[in-house]
């Protein structure tokens, strides 16, 4: 399992589909928003949590089409399906590799980019907590979408259409945690909902992804 994880990490970095692409997109979104809405500090403070969460979500979405496509193209996916390692474990490792190369850098960069959006001081910690808790769900859900569209020509657009509606609950509660934290309000309810979504996605979707892959590989 560790060998497969290291392989996927190397492929993600070498193919340019993880670390650099996600961070670059996140930076562009954060820089462009003040130009589009104006320099009003109060307005930026109010929209900063939502903008940062939306930017992180879209940055995670960028690299999903390469998550299983490379293995499909070179035949590695067929070998993994017949390997002693369960396909559910393979899917979980790929989701973990995607989170390490895409989600984790976004979590670390979010407080720095929050300065550009005039994020209130109390919101930085809650932003990091919400992203740390929510981005694993984005990777697992994205892996499920990649499994559904693997092998399809121009599957990237279809993947986005399938995954974006599934991302909405995570976006709502993640942004709400950051917004309430920045405003000094109680965050327990959205935080628990966000944790529940992530726990359910991690527990259930690897099995669904593996089942879909078995159908697609027949």
Write the pLDDT tens digit of every residue in 132-185.
Answer: 999 999 999 999 998 888 877 766 778 888 899 999 999 999 999 999 999 989
Exposure pattern of 8-38 as b/e (b: 16+ CB <10 Å)? bbebbeeeebbbebbbebbbebbeebbeeee
Residue 188 token pair: 């327990």
What per-residue string of b and e applies to 43-59 under the rule 16 or more CB within 10 Å gives b? ebbbbbbbbbbbbbbbb
Question: pTM of the entire structure?
Answer: 0.90
pLDDT at residue 68 tops 90: no
Q: How far is CA 130 from CA 40, 92, 134, 139, 144, in A?
A: 25, 21, 6, 15, 22
Q: Are 102 and 18 in contact (CB under 8 A)?
A: yes
Q: What is the mean pLDDT of residues 88-94?
A: 89
* Chain segment 190-201, per-residue pLDDT in tens: 999 999 999 999
Alpha-carbon gap, residue 31 to 17, rounded angstroms:
21
Domain regions of the chain by residue span: 2-216
Higher pLDDT, 83 or 126: 126
With CA atoms as reference, report the closest residue to 218 among 85, 90, 81. 81
């Amino acid at each position: 399992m560790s060998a497969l994880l290291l392989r996927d990490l190397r492929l993600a970095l070498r193919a340019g589909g993880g670390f650099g692409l996600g961070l670059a997109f996140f930076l562009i979104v954060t820089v462009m928003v003040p130009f589009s809405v104006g320099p009003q500090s109060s307005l930026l403070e109010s929209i900063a949590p939502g903008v940062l969460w939306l930017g992180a979500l879209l940055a995670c979405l960028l690299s999903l089409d390469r998550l299983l496509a490379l293995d499909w193209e070179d035949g590695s996916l067929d070998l993994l399906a017949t390997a002693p390692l369960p396909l559910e474990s393979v899917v979980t490792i790929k989701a973990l590799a995607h989170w390490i190369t895409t989600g984790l850098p976004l979590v670390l960069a979010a407080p720095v980019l929050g300065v550009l959006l005039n994020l209130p001081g109390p919101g930085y910690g809650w932003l990091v907590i919400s992203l740390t808790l929510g981005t694993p769900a984005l990777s697992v859900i994205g892996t499920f979408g990649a499994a559904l569209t693997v092998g399809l020509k121009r599957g990237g657009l279809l993947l986005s259409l399938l995954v974006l509606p599934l991302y909405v609950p995570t976006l709502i509660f993640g942004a709400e945690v950051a917004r309430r934290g920045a405003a000094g309000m109680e965050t327990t309810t959205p935080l628990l909902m966000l944790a529940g979504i992530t726990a359910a996605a991690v527990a259930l979707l690897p099995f669904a992804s593996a089942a879909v892959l078995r159908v697609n590989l027949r």
